[in-house]
Chains A and B, each alone.
Chain A
Amino acid sequence: MSSSPLERLQRRFVRSVTFAADADLIAAVTGGGRLSAAEAIGVYRDAYPARLTEALGETYEACWRVMGDEEFFAAARDFIARAPSRSYNLSDYGESFPEFLEARPQAQGAPFLGDLARLEWAFLRLFHARAQEGLEPAALAAAAGPQSILRLGAACVLLSFKHSIYGIWKRDRADDTPLESGDWEGAQRLVLYKRGTNEIFTRELSVPEYAALTALAAGRPLGAALEYSGLDEEGARGLFAFVADARLVAEVVPEGHGSR
């Protein structure tokens, strides 16, 4: 089916902005002011990477700080050339930027960049999530048993990284001390969560704590999740106290109702 004039024009315009100026579009327009047709199209073409770079910079602020302007802008330019924006919301742009950063040859000197970017993306998602007041500690303690399934609220994210990036992420913007490998060496597991308000909290998790919480998040009963994690009794008590105090549990599915 042949396309209409407006369809053709819009296709050419998008191609001219995201790729290269289309000769047919240049012939179809007149530049405003003292601009030639190609220069006028260039106004839109120049604005496109600037706008998407700005969006990446807002989401991946810590990566930008670590990489510096020159390297971050170069990475953004290459990413934008490969990854069109498919969402109507500019804030959604850059979901695959962490993997892109990780795969860049320049990342060899900063192997933690992918993890740092993943943390920033997760933080953004949680920032926009609805604050959830989970069960009060007493209510949770009364309802939960070994066979119970503890459903975690939506405003709770479990993250596991190959590198220790929380300290880098939290680092003062004014602190320009060069990072050393000791700053990022070692795996790290975090839980990011909201508790009733839109303030975001972070807690570092041990390996067994992370295993227990991911098992709970996957729908395993409390007793099974703790057993799977390998937490000792004291560790299990400590984790449960944290989960209760942070009000991470939205719902307790009683024994016998848990299988899905």
Chain B
Amino acid sequence: MKSAPGVRAGMTGVGLRSVHYPYLLGRPRTAVDWFEAISENYMDSEGRPLEILLKIREDYPVALHGVSLSVGGVEGPRPEYFRRLRQLADRVDPFVVSDHLCFTGAHASNVHDLLPLPYTEEAIATVARNVAVAQDALGRRLALENVSSYLSYRESVMTEWEFLIAVARRADCRILLDVNNAYVSAQNHGFAAEDYIDAVPAELVAQIHLGGYSDMGAFLFDTHSRAPTPPVWELYRRAIRRLPDAPTLIEWDADIPDWAGLEAQAVKAREIRREEHELKPA
């Protein structure tokens, strides 16, 4: 596997979104080090979206982030999905290929949502089996992201982070640690987000996500419609102390700001990392 040029420890990036295409096609100097592309937006296209992604790739490292693998689905992955994702990955040479630790429905009725799994041995075995198929088909390791959730299952026999770590170890895959999702789930389910962040082994973490949630009053909703909130930034500071090399990404999917607004969040993440690792006396 080729290594993407420009990949370096602790870099900060943003999600590539179509509203910023016109600006980015001017090849401006930016403060971001890399981009993350939603796999499904490009793997089924031979048109303009792919053309733009390949142009971006000329100047930046790129990670591919999927939303439809349904790695926890009992029906198993769809071969066609892997064929197309493999084709895209071979063209883009991403430094990380990731998806979510969840299921997204059934083949005959995809609900296109990140539905939580119960934290059980059967779920771990199912995910591990599907990851093996995926990694074999893709020829590279996957990273799985912890999702925000709004319910928990009575049959769960471990904490969310124990489940995440067990999956990564059993499946021999890596973790995309979404700090915002950890915070949202912690608030929704009444555990300490700090325990979650502290428990995840550094060697398993391929990447970090930061995003914004919406406070719905009765629960926190992972909307990616705003900047990370102060408690999420504090949690990120805690995470980055142990994970100085992990690439960090700002995710923003709704009410997306202009480029400067998005870029400012990446700069903020970089500054926090710098404060923790370069400005503090040893």
Q: Interface on A for B, CB 8 Å cutoff?
A: 4-7, 9-11, 13-14, 17-18, 28-35, 37, 39-41, 43-44, 47-48, 51-52, 84-92, 126-131, 194, 198
Inter-subunit contact A33/B126 (CB<8 Å): no
Inter-subunit contact A32/B48 (CB<8 Å): no
Chain B: interface residue total (CB-CB under 8 A): 50
Inter-subunit contact A5/B110 (CB<8 Å): no
B49 → chain A closest CB, angstroms: 7
CA gap between A83 and B217 in the complex, in Å: 33
Inter-subunit contact B155/A86 (CB<8 Å): no
Check A90/B40 contact, CB under 8 A, given A13-B115, A14-B109, A34-B218: yes
10 contacts between A and B (CB under 8 A): A17-B113, A33-B219, A34-B217, A35-B150, A35-B151, A41-B151, A44-B150, A88-B81, A128-B49, A194-B47
B235 → chain A closest CB, angstroms: 18
Inter-subunit contact A4/B68 (CB<8 Å): no
| B27 in the interface (beta carbon within 8 A) | no
Residue of A17, A18, A37, A131 near B47 (CB, 8 A) is: A131
CA gap between A14 and B218 in the complex, in Å: 24
**B interface majority secondary structure:** mixed
CA gap between A6 and B127 in the complex, in Å: 11
Residue of B40, B45, B113, B152 near A30 (CB, 8 A) is: B152
Residue of B70, B107, B189 near A32 (CB, 8 A) is: B189
Residue of A whose beta carbon sits closest to that of B187 = A33
Which residues in B have their C-beta under 8 angstroms from that of A48? 111-113
Inter-subunit contact A32/B111 (CB<8 Å): no
Inter-subunit contact B113/A128 (CB<8 Å): no
Which residues in A have their C-beta under 8 angstroms from that of B111? 14, 17-18, 44, 48, 85
Residue of A whose beta carbon sits closest to that of B123 = A6
Residue of A6, A91, A129 near B122 (CB, 8 A) is: A6
